Structure 1
Amino acid sequence: MELSDIRREYTRGGLRRDNLLSDPIEQFNLWLSQAVEAKLIDPTAMTVATVDQYGQPFQRIVLLKNVEKNGFVFYTNLGSRKAQHIEHNHRVSLHFPWHNLERQVHITGVAEKLTATENMKYFTSRPKESQIAAIASHQSSRISARGILEGKFLELKQKFANGEIPVPSFWGGYRIRPTSIEFWQGGENRLHDRFIYLKESDEWSIDRLAP
């Protein structure tokens, strides 16, 4: 089989300007709720793209944890590679691939750290095992064997068996304040529908893009 021969038609329907809400955050929440209702696997999974100090782009998948009027929230180890990139360059890109609905959402924006209060509120809401894993793993650092990570996890699990787990200083969240949000709906004959919202002062403009 040749990779160039793999293709399919997009037939779930088009997207028209009249279908769009004036606020892109509300439009995103509508599409996200439809992705959840469609029982897509990991509907909150998004690719986060950053750029290092040499201009090299990196991508990884994380989970969206909140959508607010002023941005999209995710959490990570603040010593991770992505966090180091954001420290150097606050401009990032998010991408949601909802393949079964033949939809994509692409977001560009600026990352800002959440407050200690916001971090604590979410951290304490997580399952205890997830809290422990956040402490056990120094994300993006080199380890010689998985057993080292598992051993640290078990050590911490025993240590905090009967007590609260403190929020680690090296863990926290980011809010991505969007500057553009693009909605993509697959169309027949590769005539896809694309609309981009651009932030201008405090208002959003909407333009159709050629596929």
Structure 2
Amino acid sequence: MNQKNLLGLNNCFLDLDDPIQLFKVWMDEAKKLEPNDPNALSLATSNKDNLPSVRVVLLKEFNQNGFVFYTNLNSQKGNELKENPNAAMCFHWKSLLRQVRISGAITQVEDKVADQYYNSRGYDSRIGAWASKQSKELNNRKELTKSIKEYKQKFNDENNVPRPNHWSGWNLSPTRIEFWLDGDSRIHERLNYTINKSGNWIKSLLSP
């Protein structure tokens, strides 16, 4: 029988006041058990007409300031975030039967932060950031491979590929984080954190 914490939840919720600390614990466990991309998340955005879209991206960093991912700023998600800087993330770890939902406002990371991450990427990935006009229509696949070849010729020094101005990171500063654990007969366990006007996190239980 699973142990319960003071709120009557499974002990995996840990009774922590800081959801970022709890997220780190859950992410560390996911890294041990998820076979592929434990940092994968579904990112939901909406354009100026309130039409939503969702796709999977990879979380590259998180801390008390938020959750960071990188992309082409002129992609669909990039353009939508420029129009409506609010977004939501959802992590689903099947191996753990857990889910985390995060929502908040989005801001672009500083150039020096983007530079540091970009320079840590492999050569082909850095070239791809130049060659791919993300989300734009291609006439055929050869058009992309030709662009990759051209940029490899332009930046033939693997140690000197500058970051394109159109490629950077976004930071989601959370105002709400919900932790979800699968339960028998769909009686799931849900712990919700919301941030108040003083910047403090308030915990509450949600009905499944």
Question: 125, 128, 131: which one pairs with 1:136?
Answer: 131
Report the TM-score, using the length of structure 1 for normalisation: 0.90
Please name the residue that 2:150 is paired with.
Answer: 155
1:207 aligned to which of 201, 204, 208 = 204
Q: Number of aligned pairs?
A: 201
Match of 2:178 among 182, 185, 197: 182
**Cα distance, 1:126 vs structure 2:** 0.6
Match of 1:102 in 2: 97
- Is the Cα–Cα contact under 8 Å of residues 13 and 187 in structure 1 kept in the other structure? no
**RMSD between aligned alpha carbons?**
1.8
Residue 25 of structure 1: SS of its match in structure 2? Answer: helix
Q: Which amino acid letter does the alignment assign opposite residue 200 of structure 2?
A: E
The equivalences for 1:14-93 within 5 A come to 15-16=9-10, 19-93=14-88
* Contact 2:3 2:10 survives alignment (8 Å): no
Q: Secondary structure of 1:135's partner? A: helix
Unaligned runs of 5+ in 1: 1-10
**Distance 1:93-1:12 versus aligned 2 partners, 3 A rule:** farther
Equivalent position SS for 1:34? helix
TM-score (norm 2): 0.92
Do the aligned partners of 1:12 and 1:101 also contact (CA within 8 Å) in 2? no
Partner residue of 2:165 out of 157, 165, 169:
169
Mapped to 1, the partners of 2:125 and 2:55 lie a distance apart of 19
CA deviations over 1:62-97 (Å, ceiling 9, x no partner): 000001111000000011111111111111000001
Which residue pairs with 1:6 in the alignment?
none
- Give the aligned residue type for 1:79: N
Q: Which residue of structure 1 lines up, in the alignment, with residue 194 of structure 2?
A: 198
How far 1:100 sits from its partner (Å)?
Answer: 1.6
Aligned to 1:133, the other structure's residue is in SS state helix
4+ long deviations beyond 2 Å = 11-20
Give the corresponding residue for 1:5.
Answer: none
Deviation, 1:158, is 2.7
* Inter-partner Cα distance in structure 2 for 1:13 and 1:146: 54
Structure 1 residue 13 displacement after superposition: 8.5
Q: Structure 2: where are the runs of 5+ without partners?
A: none
Q: Is the 8 A contact 1:12 1:186 kept in 2?
A: no
Structure 2: distance between partners of 1:46 and 1:34: 16
Name which structure has the greater RCO, CA cutoff 8 Å, separation 6+.
1
